[in-house]
Structure 1
Amino acid sequence: MSEARQATASRRLVGEGLPVPVSTYRLQLGPELTLDDAAERVPYLAMLGVTHLYLSPVLRSAPGSTHGYDVVDHDEISPLIGGLPALRRLADTSHAAGLGLVLDIVPNHMAVPTPVWHNRALWSVLADGPDSPFAAWFDVDWSAGDGAVLMPVLADRIGAVLAGGELTLDEIVVPGAGEAPRTVLRYADHVFPVRPGTEHLPLAELLERQHYRLAYWRVADEELNYRRFFDVGTLVAIRVEDPVVFDATHALVLGLVADGTLDGLRIDHPDGLTDPAGYLTRLRERTGGAWVVVEKILEGDEELPTDWETAGTTGYEALWRVQQTFVDPGGAAVLGAVMHRLTGDTSDALPAIISSAKREMVDGALYAEVHRLTALAAGICHDDLRLRDHTWRSVHDCLVELLVAFDRYRAYVVPGDPLPTVSVEVVESAARIAADRLPPERAATMSVLVDLLLGREAGSAGRTRSPVRDELVVRFQQTCGAVMAKGVEDTAFYRWTHLVGLCEVGGEPARFALTPTELSFWAARQQQQAPLGMTTLSTHDTKRSEDTRTRLGVLSEAAVEWSTLVDRLRATSAPYRSALLDGRTENLLWQTLAGTWTPDGPLSDDRLTGYLTKAIREAKSRTTWTEPDATYEAAVLATARHVLGDDRAVELFAAWELRTRTAVRAATLGTKLVQLTLPGVADVYQGTEVPSVALVDPDNRRAVDVAPLAARLARLDEGAGPRDLADEKLLVTSRALRTRRDLSEAFVGPGAGFRPLAHSSGHALSYARTVAGEAAVVVIATRLAIALDRLGGWADHTVALPEGAWHDVLTNRVVVGGVQEIAPLLDRLPVALLVRATD
């Protein structure tokens, strides 16, 4: 192994003697699940077989927060979930049961809460401006906005708000700011500090003299002068690249790692940081090399930057690959025809839909960020005689097209550092695509812009570095991530309806399906490059739970039958299906119902309509969050409700669910077992140890009652056979987790390996997990069960098992190694999990 590869490999491991999770179980903490509630679940989770509890953010967050990613105080564990004492109690209870804790942290941003004083650091900046001791915390452009931080909170333009008397002065004791009353400015529920010495000025003049500018909320997208999380103005970015800010915002968490309360960290949105690699290096130094994974979306075959000090990602690249290995490529054409029939979209239209959506974001919600980039680049050109003829408009046109053409979240160019070859290739490739969309006279400007964005010499000789040039390099990359997230995942993926389950966070819907060989190749590579990264099938951010996506995947296996079903559903719904219902939303509706229809029937009315409301607003085609079209939305939801009450539609979906039940069973158990046994640290999202049909948040963050799950597991452990799919998935999950725990060397040990096993059928997926080259665990899964059934089942197909005696922990029977027929191995369950038999 070369020195470079050895260095990269060492960055993916933990410090000597530090714990490595073997598996994690994600818990969504909040008022409905406090830290003490979590402690009560420890016995069940230990029995399930996980080794670590994976906690959502626990620091004090904005009032009313339901997720914890809007931190207001880095020095305090949220009292709503029990505070630091409750976290200590959870740690003690977990450690006593042999479990550890992993914590999700948010280094990129803090909340702009209502009232602002909940965030004491931000309150100080609004009160004292650049003189605040916290001024360096926030990424504010003090040169813009007349040196005032834009606060776009008004429901109308400032003139109208003033005229309406909606702004008033008050005297209050501000929590956390001493005991003396101070003058504040009130607007509805908002409270802002008043700069000392301006209290007695006329209100209009008082507003002009503050270190902030109150503005109409629509102004944010055009004139916001602080970096935010994507397009969310209520999440202000912080500058953790500053060592002082890093220390202040990480002191509590680092202390919890140092004293053994926490074994590892999950880092939220590192692509938003000024220097992700530098941040991760500092974090590794300060934790001594603790297990750290990053919420990083890798597009296509993109790989983690080699200089990142992290075990790996949170597993989105595993999620889509596992899922699409259980999708039938033969269904692509038929499902494409259904989409075209309903929507007019052709099967090759996704790239154009993505480009259009990204352009809308660049021209709309993210205009302020693009304007700032243009100002920086145009300013550089203006200040250099040799570049002066590259106009503001020319620079802007090139930047827009470059952002639209960019195919990933970031190029990882660090000012002053050597340019990685892949970074150059990524930027130059996007530039070629962008140039083709521009008039020829823009080519010279594009060339200059590429040099500037790569930190190369541009203009007068020797000019490569300056504060402005460095800022342009960094801000461009931060903006690329926002354009990708908002344009692709939060817009285009709600418009593309070929097979909606493929439109997932970090997903690759253009790939449609993978072969077992492709998955095995990726897994073997992952074992070498990031053996301790995370794998997952569901997260708090996924647009659909794993079980919803599994049911949707089965559409590809019975695509012709699905096409017929859609025609019948359209016929029965014709009398009440509104003319306002567009084809994309209609296709989304039918697939959503198929993905969520279980033997118990459909989702409840409120869950379905809540999801549809979010989906059509995210699509931004006919209605949006900021400008909802009430008539259109009412038509969509009325149609959905009519379908739920239509006996014929209910009958059709019930028949479909029955027809696909066997295939759903095979895919449900197969995807779960594969995800839990691939290279990496396996994560189970709360409640998904049994079938959990859910849609995008907040639907997927609903509370989980574990008492029935614990009772199910106890019954299975007592020797009872599984009664239904819930029992079967719980059996597969618990046995896989326990196998991981008991044979951890085969999964996260230094000698762990992955080896595909030969089989004679494309409907089988089989591999071994090895220790020092010797097979220790064998996995066999069924894929595409409907097509398998059409072929007459397994017949005489075989799989080549490693020699020796094996024990199937799912069916509790002994299996002999060597070439064996598949049918007897999978006669009870569509999956098998074999471990070496002991005497």
Structure 2
Amino acid sequence: MTPTATYRLQLQPDFPFSAAAHAVPYLAGLGVSHLHLSPVLEAVPGSRHGYDVVDHGRVRAELGGEEGLRELARTAREHGLGLVVDIVPNHMAAVPRLNRALWEVLREGAESPYARWFDIDWAAGGGKVLLPVLAGPVGDEIGRLRVDGEVLRHGEQEFPLRAGTAHLPVPELLDAQHYRLGWWRLARTELNYRRFFTISELIGVRVEDPEVFAATHGKILELVRDGVVDGLRVDHPDGLADPAAYLERLSAAAGGRWTVVEKILTGAEPLPADWAVAGTTGYDALHRIDGLFVDPMGAAELIGRYREYAGPAGDRGGDWTSTVRRAAYRVVTHELAAETALLTRLAVRICAGDPALRDHAPWALHAAVRELLVRVPVYRPYATAGAPCTEAARETLPDAVVRDAKAAFSVPEEASAVDVVRDLALGRLGGGPDRAAFCTRFAQTASASRAKSVEDMAFYRYVPLISANEVGGDPGHPAVTPDEFHAFCTRLARDWPAAGTALTTHDTKRSADVRARIAVLTECPEQWSWLLVELERVTPATAPDAQLAWHAWQTAYGCAELPPREMAARLEPALLKAVREAGLSTSWTEPDPSYERAVTDFVAAGPAASSGPVREALERFAGTLGRYVRANVLGAALVQLTMPGVPDLYQGTEREYVALVDPDNRRPFRHAPENGASGEKGELTAVALRLRRERPEVFGESGTYTPLSARGPAAAHCLAFCRSGEVVTAVTRLSLRLAESGGWRGTELALPDDGPWTDLLAPGRKFTGATVAMAELFAERPVALLSRVGREGPAARA
């Protein structure tokens, strides 16, 4: 059954299955059809997210175990709800004492039956797996190693010993193992197993192997067959060797259950049509919804004021396109150096074995790998070695990218190596395991490169409008016109009507309400600049650099609704994470304590100040923009809840929800009101959700989407559409600019017919006629949800 709406609960030891069950009556009353649970399988003890799975055969004991999950499912069923579960096929935790498969590989080496579980380049490690787990060089740590029976211990870490080696002196014992214990810094250049992005603690899993698939999906599929789980959310499909084949196998095994994938689409990139899924989890929708409330002219002016204030240049984000390219070079040559080296080794071996290719020098092949990786315009190419190269796959490495990559070569004659690498990446040079491995690993490395360079670096280097810096977004062009939004929704309704839509997730860097507040700055960039002047005048501490100050002040304004006592506790870790991810003055691996201390001192005295002139100035500014923030918040919420697709609500976001990057946005869900959703946003959410549940023929896969047009001088300030001829959504956009220009001034919205129509958000208000005046429609609130009289259903009467 396709959900009408899902509600994401972030499970963790402080919020187990029993706590989720306690929230079920409230969530059923809210109007969702399914609970969306974060990963439920056994994970590293204490994990607050569950993506570090250690045992695919058990439901996580810290959450209540399998019986706790089944009891939650029973409680949900009693209230008319189903369960959708997040699954993690790409990776698992590289903690040997918890991960039995990895333990056996380390004990038995390449001959272990579990060796097929992981992508390990045994040759690169001299027959050993590098484990970069030591705090310092092995020579400094050797004294902390001790043998305990058949186990080697290092602090709390445990490693299996190869049979017959426990009696050896420690230096010889280390040499005798199927693994090499090493300093954590070696991971960057020496790692020889596939990992999740740059996180060596998460080892990639080869689910393309049928036996590995069966072993890692057995418990989840059992829960599906038993009716405990009704749908699936697939984490990070870009990391898989062959996503299309995996999803086809999963769909067959799960009986075609509703499944969405966490696939990040770039720009107009389509979801591969051959994927056996209902669609994405909704980052593509998030970008389009957010963009509706960004003023393009004001965004351009804000960029100019950012450049004047922060003086960004080079790596410091003076231009979005160049910022991404510089970040990509950094990631490919530094963070992903080991992965780039593997691709180079494969390319060298392939060329050495082909008389027509063997004159390509190793350095040229390495350069070609690097230059193409930094230019892949999407997250990954979808090509399969040995299969025909599709047009969609070719577009992921188009001729323009190849020409640009060749231009980076100082010796033009060597640039033909780019053609070789492109053909290998697209599977066009078929034959042999190395060629198949190159095609697969290039795609997997490209996705890691894109994620790290864009999401985890460029987003923190280019910060004129931080609300635009969200996964799937385009900070270089943050605004989305109504026509562009309508075109997106038309495609969604036609091609992926049961795809997910989202506004806030466990991975968003800022919650939707924070982003909605910051987006208003594009409508008043001059006032924002004046505020910065005032804040600098009254702040007792100086920021370590102007770029950080700009970012910090926008963050503080976006969180202006937080109680003063919470500001420091929430802002400081988020901004420290920002400067470390940016990697300009400090980083996770090479921290600069003095710089970070300057950051925390500035944040405490300025953006996070709980009282005094700084706080007064921020609150005064926020107060002047409150009504325009309200229009953005309500507008975004109503659009998501009524557009094509299945809306996914993140825990607590039906009310005002202020959250920054994880772990701030993964705090336990504790506050389910006993009397249902409250406040204007909560009431709007409940009405829309109940309407979706009661009118599936209007919003479901057979429903239609029709753009509606406004006429008059302020027509651009309205977005409106009709679902299946029965329900009209209308919202106000760019409301500050609207007010400055004199309001609606006779602008009218054309309705599908004469009606009569009633506003479900204010059931006493009815409209008849082919048009309605915008000033009348939005007299009470900046949004409206119209339904034909007599078709309102219980949602309107709730």
Shared fold, TM over 0.5: yes
Q: Which amino acid aligns with 1:56?
A: S
More displaced stretch, 645-654 vs 291-300: 645-654
Look up the match of 2:645: 680
Q: In structure 2, how many angstroms separate the alpha carbons of the residues matched to 1:125 and 1:136?
A: 9
Q: Which amino acid aligns with 2:388?
A: P
- CA displacement at 1:636 relative to structure 2: 1.0
Look up the match of 1:257: 224
Q: Which amino acid aligns with 2:514?
A: T
Deviations 1:766-799 (A, max 9, x none): 11000xxxx1111010111111111222231111
- Check the 8 A contact 1:599/1:654 in 2, yes or no: no
- Check the 8 A contact 1:543/1:697 in 2, yes or no: yes
- Residue among 505, 519, 526 paired with 1:539: 505
Q: 2:300 aligns to what SS in structure 1?
A: helix
- Residue among 435, 442, 454 paired with 2:406: 435
- Residue among 552, 558, 561 paired with 1:589: 552
Consecutive aligned runs of 4 or more in structure 1 exceeding 4 Å deviation: 599-603
Q: In structure 1, how many angstroms separate the alpha carbons of the residues matched to 2:228 and 2:496?
A: 25
Look up the match of 2:299: 332
- Residue among 364, 368, 375 paired with 1:405: 375
Q: Which amino acid aligns with 1:447?
A: D
Q: Which amino acid aligns with 1:612?
A: L
Look up the match of 1:765: 719
Look up the match of 1:179: none
Equivalences for residues 744-755 of structure 1 within 5 A = 744-750=696-702, 752-755=703-706
Q: Which amino acid aligns with 1:130?
A: A
Q: In structure 1, how many angstroms separate the alpha carbons of the residues matched to 2:788 and 2:318?
A: 48
Is structure 2 residue 4 aligned with structure 1 residue 22? Answer: yes
- Residue among 778, 784, 789 paired with 1:837: 789
Equivalences for residues 304-703 of structure 1 within 5 A = 304-345=271-312, 349-428=319-398, 429-439=400-410, 440-457=412-429, 464-573=430-539, 575-578=540-543, 581-598=544-561, 600-601=563-564, 603-643=566-606, 644=609, 647-703=612-668
Look up the match of 1:12: none
Q: 1:658 aligns to what SS in structure 2?
A: helix
- CA displacement at 1:133 relative to structure 2: 2.2
Q: 2:42 aligns to what SS in structure 1?
A: strand
Deviations 1:206-242 (A, max 9, x none): 1111111100111111111110000000000111000
Q: In structure 1, how many angstroms separate the alpha carbons of the residues matched to 2:53 and 2:437?
A: 26
Look up the match of 2:93: 111
Identity %: 46
Look up the match of 1:170: 148
Q: In structure 2, how many angstroms separate the alpha carbons of the residues matched to 1:319 and 1:437?
A: 35
- Residue among 127, 143, 155 paired with 1:147: 127
Q: In structure 1, how many angstroms separate the alpha carbons of the residues matched to 2:597 and 2:201?
A: 29
- CA displacement at 1:649 relative to structure 2: 1.6
Equivalences for residues 782-793 of structure 1 within 5 A = 782-793=732-743
Q: 2:152 aligns to what SS in structure 1?
A: strand
- Check the 8 A contact 1:332/1:556 in 2, yes or no: yes
Q: 1:101 aligns to what SS in structure 2?
A: strand
- CA displacement at 1:802 relative to structure 2: 2.1
- CA displacement at 1:271 relative to structure 2: 0.6
More displaced stretch, 137-146 vs 313-322: 137-146
Q: In structure 1, how many angstroms separate the alpha carbons of the residues matched to 2:168 and 2:384?
A: 47
- CA displacement at 1:454 relative to structure 2: 2.1
Q: 1:405 aligns to what SS in structure 2?
A: coil
Q: In structure 2, how many angstroms separate the alpha carbons of the residues matched to 1:614 and 1:454?
A: 36
Q: Which amino acid aligns with 2:147?
A: L
Q: In structure 1, how many angstroms separate the alpha carbons of the residues matched to 2:72 and 2:357?
A: 61
Q: 2:751 aligns to what SS in structure 1?
A: strand
Q: 1:65 aligns to what SS in structure 2?
A: coil
- Check the 8 A contact 1:257/1:263 in 2, yes or no: yes
Look up the match of 2:45: 63
- CA displacement at 1:456 relative to structure 2: 2.3
- Check the 8 A contact 1:732/1:810 in 2, yes or no: yes
Q: 1:147 aligns to what SS in structure 2?
A: coil
Q: Which amino acid aligns with 1:86?
A: G
- CA displacement at 1:600 relative to structure 2: 4.7
Deviations 1:470-527 (A, max 9, x none): 1001100000000001111100100111101101112111112111111011101111
- Check the 8 A contact 1:144/1:225 in 2, yes or no: yes
- CA displacement at 1:339 relative to structure 2: 1.1
Q: Which amino acid aligns with 1:50?
A: V
Deviations 1:82-135 (A, max 9, x none): 11111111111111111111000000011012xx22111111111111222211
Q: Which amino acid aligns with 1:766?
A: A
- Check the 8 A contact 1:137/1:238 in 2, yes or no: yes
Q: 2:151 aligns to what SS in structure 1?
A: strand
Look up the match of 1:809: 760
Q: Which amino acid aligns with 2:775?
A: A
Give the number of aligned pairs: 779
Deviations 1:674-699 (A, max 9, x none): 01111100110000001111100000
Q: 1:358 aligns to what SS in structure 2?
A: helix
Look up the match of 1:95: 77
More displaced stretch, 195-204 vs 295-304: 195-204
- Residue among 258, 275, 295 paired with 2:262: 295
- Check the 8 A contact 1:22/1:682 in 2, yes or no: yes
Q: 1:385 aligns to what SS in structure 2?
A: coil
Q: Which amino acid aligns with 1:109?
A: H
- CA displacement at 1:202 relative to structure 2: 1.7
Q: In structure 2, how many angstroms separate the alpha carbons of the residues matched to 1:453 and 1:38?
A: 45
Alpha carbons of structure 1 residues 348 and 185: separation in structure 2 relative to 1, 3 Å: closer
Q: Which amino acid aligns with 1:378?
A: V
Deviations 1:553-573 (A, max 9, x none): 011111111111112222223
Q: 2:396 aligns to what SS in structure 1?
A: helix
Q: In structure 1, how many angstroms separate the alpha carbons of the residues matched to 2:661 and 2:397?
A: 33
Q: In structure 2, how many angstroms separate the alpha carbons of the residues matched to 1:194 and 1:338?
A: 61
Q: In structure 1, how many angstroms separate the alpha carbons of the residues matched to 2:697 and 2:14?
A: 37
Q: Which amino acid aligns with 1:30?
A: Q
- Check the 8 A contact 1:596/1:603 in 2, yes or no: no
Q: In structure 1, how many angstroms separate the alpha carbons of the residues matched to 2:297 and 2:669?
A: 37
Alpha carbons of structure 1 residues 348 and 170: separation in structure 2 relative to 1, 3 Å: closer
Equivalences for residues 771-786 of structure 1 within 5 A = 775-786=725-736
- Check the 8 A contact 1:20/1:263 in 2, yes or no: no
Look up the match of 2:247: 280
- Check the 8 A contact 1:455/1:465 in 2, yes or no: no
Q: 2:731 aligns to what SS in structure 1?
A: strand
- CA displacement at 1:582 relative to structure 2: 1.4
- Check the 8 A contact 1:802/1:817 in 2, yes or no: no
Q: In structure 1, how many angstroms separate the alpha carbons of the residues matched to 2:620 and 2:55?
A: 53
Alpha carbons of structure 1 residues 452 and 749: separation in structure 2 relative to 1, 3 Å: closer
- Check the 8 A contact 2:251/2:276 in 1, yes or no: yes
- CA displacement at 1:705 relative to structure 2: 2.6
Equivalences for residues 40-51 of structure 1 within 5 A = 40-51=22-33
Q: In structure 2, how many angstroms separate the alpha carbons of the residues matched to 1:168 and 1:793?
A: 76
- Check the 8 A contact 1:552/1:594 in 2, yes or no: yes
- CA displacement at 1:348 relative to structure 2: 6.6
- Check the 8 A contact 2:12/2:46 in 1, yes or no: no
Alpha carbons of structure 1 residues 712 and 452: separation in structure 2 relative to 1, 3 Å: closer
- CA displacement at 1:645 relative to structure 2: 5.3
- Check the 8 A contact 1:28/1:55 in 2, yes or no: yes
- CA displacement at 1:817 relative to structure 2: 4.2
